[in-house]
Amino acid sequence: MSLVQIRNLTKTFRKGDQTISPLAGVSLDIERGQFVSLMGASGSGKSTLLNILAGIDRPTSGQVLIENVEVQKLSRTKLAHWRSANVGYIFQMHNLIPVLSAYENIELPLLLLNLSRADRRRRVEIALEAVGLTDRADHYPRQLSGGQEQRVGIARAIVADPTIVVADEPTGDLDSETSEQILNLLRRLNLELGTTLVMVTHDVRAAGVAGRQLRLDHGLLVEQLQPVGAA
């Protein structure tokens, strides 16, 4: 059975007089350990799909089943608890808390879980090592480069060992060299740790890093049979 099962997912909302339907009956299965990229034109609904998958947005109709949990049916509070244990979110703009050090930013999701201080420390150190920032643990976001900030964001997303990690254009704010490093890091996490990753991107080259590429077109998902970037 697939880790993620999405069935007939729709999302509509009103913008002025218009009704917009970025998702018009999307169905998708994602296996455990898959690295999926999601492309599409601006406004095609890829971020909406990602947000629904991450449990921070709700579909208009349809079903989202992740590890046998019907995510769309959870109450606001239960959904928050589910997110803390099952979802890691990597943002385009890193979204680090400026008053907290890299270590404290990474530790933040663990504070919501019932872990001892020693256990939290151990996990943060592993995450810092995984993203190669052990020597930057005490640095604040303002003292880090864009690439380092994103690596802290990635460490924060994986530190609680979530069921699924979603990334919303993780290289969108980075130069090409740093983007390459971040994509390599994501690929390595997927290969070495078996992290299930779903990444939204505009960048064809970034999408090519994923083992499976999808495109959202007019509210529907299209599987890329010929991997993008493989040509």
Partner 1 sequence: MLRFVPYILKTLWRHRARTLLTVSGAAVALFVFCFVQAVGDGVRNLNAQGEADRTLIVFQANRFCPFTSELPEDYAPQIAKIAGVEKVIPIKVYTNNCRASLDVVVFHGMPPEQLREARAFELSAGSWEPFQKVSDAALVGQNVARRRGLSPGMPFTLGGVTVQVKGVFKSAQPSDDDFVYTHLDFLQRMRGRETVGKVTQFEVRLATNVDSPTVCEAIDDLFRGGPVLTDTRTKGVFQADTVADLAEMIGFAHWLGYACVGLVLALVATTTVMAVQDRISEHALLQTLGFTSLGIFSLVVVESLLLACLGGAIGVVAANLALASHGVSLGTEAVTISFEPSLRLILSGAAVTIAVGILAGIVPGIQAARAQIVPSLRAA
Q: How far apart are CA 52 and CA 6, in angstroms?
A: 10
Q: Minimum distance between the CB of residue 101 and partner 1, rounded to whole angstroms?
A: 10
103 part of the interface to partner 1, by CB under 8 A? no
Q: Which helix (H) or strand (E) holds 24?
A: strand 18-30
Q: Which of 89, 136, 158, 215 binds partner 1 (CB under 8 A)?
A: 89
Among 56, 74, 137, 220, binds partner 1 (CB under 8 A): 56
The helix/strand/coil state of 221 is strand
Residue number with CB closer to partner 1 (57 or 125) = 57
Query: In the structure encoding, which two tokens stand for residue 168, read together?
Result: 């919303």
Query: Based on CB atoms, which residue is closest to partner 1, 32 or 58?
Result: 58
Q: Which is nearer to partner 1, 120 or 136 (CB)?
A: 120
Q: Which of 98, 114, 177, 226 binds partner 1 (CB under 8 A)?
A: 98
57 binds partner 1 (CB under 8 A): yes
Extract the tokens encoding 187: 């690929």
Burial per residue of 56-95, b for 16 or more beta-carbon CB atoms within 10 angstroms, e otherwise: eeebeebebbbeebebbebeeeebeebbeebbbbbbbebe
Residues 213 and 226: beta-carbon distance below 8 Å: no
User: Does residue 93 bind partner 1 (CB under 8 A)?
Assistant: yes
Alpha carbon of 194 to those of 34, 159, 168, 188: distances in Å? 8, 14, 19, 9
Number of residues that bind partner 1 (CB under 8 A): 26
Residues 155-214 close enough to bind partner 1 by CB under 8 A: 156
Name the nearest CA neighbour of 100 among 124, 72, 81, 132: 124
Distance CA 117, CA 34 (A): 32
Contact status: 22 vs partner 1 (CB under 8 A)? no
Report in angstroms the alpha-carbon separations of 128 from 2, 155, 157, 182, 229: 30, 6, 11, 14, 30
Site for partner 1 in 117-156 (CB under 8 A): 156
85 binds partner 1 (CB under 8 A): yes
Question: Quick one: which segment of 1-9, 90-98, 131-139, 204-212 binds partner 1 (CB under 8 A)?
Answer: 90-98
43 is a site residue for partner 1 (CB under 8 A): no
If binding is defined by CB under 8 A, does position 95 make contact with partner 1?
yes
Binding residues for partner 1, rule: CB under 8 A, are 51, 54, 56-57, 76-77, 80-81, 83-85, 87, 89, 91, 93, 95, 97-100, 104, 108-109, 111-112, 156
